[in-house]
Structure 1
Amino acid sequence: MSDNTDSPPAAELAREYFGHVADRDPDAMAAMVHEDVVEEFVVLGTFHGRAALRDFFAELFAAVPDSTFEIESIHAVDADTAIGQWRFTGTFDGGPFQGIEPTGADLDFRGVDVMEFEARSADEKRLCHNTIYYDGLTFARQVGLLPDEDSLGDRALMTGFNGLTKVRRELLD
């Protein structure tokens, strides 16, 4: 996809930050954030602080050693906020990630970050809050945590879930 970039200053900061993700450099990422940054992965959890951010990405890069991070677009909302769309690919064959043991699975999913920057000084802004939306269902299917869509396992899981839901409803009535 094309790399649509609005300039100043939030979009430029987002581009720089995403560049460190693409370079697989959690230390450089951590250097761009406030000490008490909030990284809110909507489907995964919230991570507070620079050390938590650094540790999260170090774990991700160790889990997916061949990962690539492609910026699809970056847009400035205003001087302090940017939205970036991205694509993450790689093989989950390194270390564990968030308690999930590596499966050797190929990963390919997309997401969007809503990044808020705040002035640290008159000439320096740092990331203070980032809300990350990504396709957690696709990620779970790709790593093998959930069955493939429309597979026998997927249909069995849905059937079991619906059966349990009906039993619960009957018990509560």
Structure 2
Amino acid sequence: MQRRQFLTSAAVAATLLAVAPSFAADTAQSVVEAYVAAWNAHDSAKAAGYFADDVTYYDASVGKPVAGKDAAKTGVIDNFLKAVPDAVWTMKGKPLVDGDRVSFEWEFSGTNTGAWGDGTAATGKKFSFTGASMFQVKDGKIATQSDYYDALGFYKQLGLM
């Protein structure tokens, strides 16, 4: 009887271990997709709610990471959504998922009708640019986000260069 219980327990444990990586990948992808949906709903509080408290947000065009949920909400999400209230962030194709890591190419588009956080006035110009983002999700929250895109092309579309 004890041997049967042991074998049953071992089989259940092996099944759970085999399913765990797949479940983690599904969870990471669903967190990132919900985060993108919150951006597209223009809900900065909801978007920031997907960040871990100690998130690191890295924008390659800026070159300096933003540390912490509140700083990322204020310095990135709020700043962008105030400057571009009609922003649309579109995933191009399916994301690449490897355990707790998610990456995808995207297109960002909208009209710059609000001032930027650095004081740059609105240009009133429409834009569309592409890039790629990489995320790491831990415990159901975004621990890191790194964005890479053609900032020069973006600034030219806005008439800032």
Deviation at 1:95, TM superposition (A): 2.2
Question: Given that residues 14 and 84 in structure 1 are in contact (C-alpha distance below 8 angstroms), is that contact kept between their aligned partners in structure 2?
Answer: no
2:101 to 81, 92, 110: 81
User: Once structures 1 and 2 are overlaid, which stretch shifts more, 108-117 or 137-146?
Assistant: 137-146
3-state SS of 1:83 partner? strand
Deviation at 1:111, TM superposition (A): 1.4
Which residue of 1 is the match for residue 78 of structure 2? Answer: 58
Runs of 4+ in structure 1 deviating by more than 6 angstroms, as ranges, are: none
**Separation of aligned partners in 2, 1:128 and 1:62:** 24
1:41 to 49, 53, 59: 59
Question: Given that residues 40 and 130 in structure 1 are in contact (C-alpha distance below 8 angstroms), is that contact kept between their aligned partners in structure 2?
Answer: yes
Which residue of 1 is the match for residue 147 of structure 2? Answer: 132
Superposed, 1:1-173 pairs within 5 Å as 8-44=26-62, 45-55=64-74, 56-119=76-139, 125-146=140-161
Which residue of 2 is the match for residue 154 of structure 1? Answer: none
**Separation of aligned partners in 1, 2:93 and 2:38:** 16
What TM-score results when the alignment is normalised by the length of structure 2?
Answer: 0.77
Which runs of no fewer than 5 residues in structure 2 stay unpaired? 1-24
- Over the matched positions of the two proteins, sequence identity in percent amounts to 24
Question: Quick one: which amino acid aligns to residue 156 of structure 2?
Answer: R
Deviation at 1:97, TM superposition (A): 4.0
Deviation at 1:76, TM superposition (A): 3.7
Question: Given that residues 80 and 118 in structure 1 are in contact (C-alpha distance below 8 angstroms), is that contact kept between their aligned partners in structure 2?
Answer: yes
Question: Quick one: which amino acid aligns to residue 82 of structure 1?
Answer: V
Question: Given that residues 108 and 129 in structure 2 are in contact (C-alpha distance below 8 angstroms), is that contact kept between their aligned partners in structure 1?
Answer: yes
What TM-score results when the alignment is normalised by the length of structure 1?
Answer: 0.72
Question: Quick one: which amino acid aligns to residue 130 of structure 2?
Answer: R
Question: Given that residues 58 and 65 in structure 2 are in contact (C-alpha distance below 8 angstroms), is that contact kept between their aligned partners in structure 1?
Answer: yes
Question: Quick one: which amino acid aligns to residue 81 of structure 1?
Answer: R
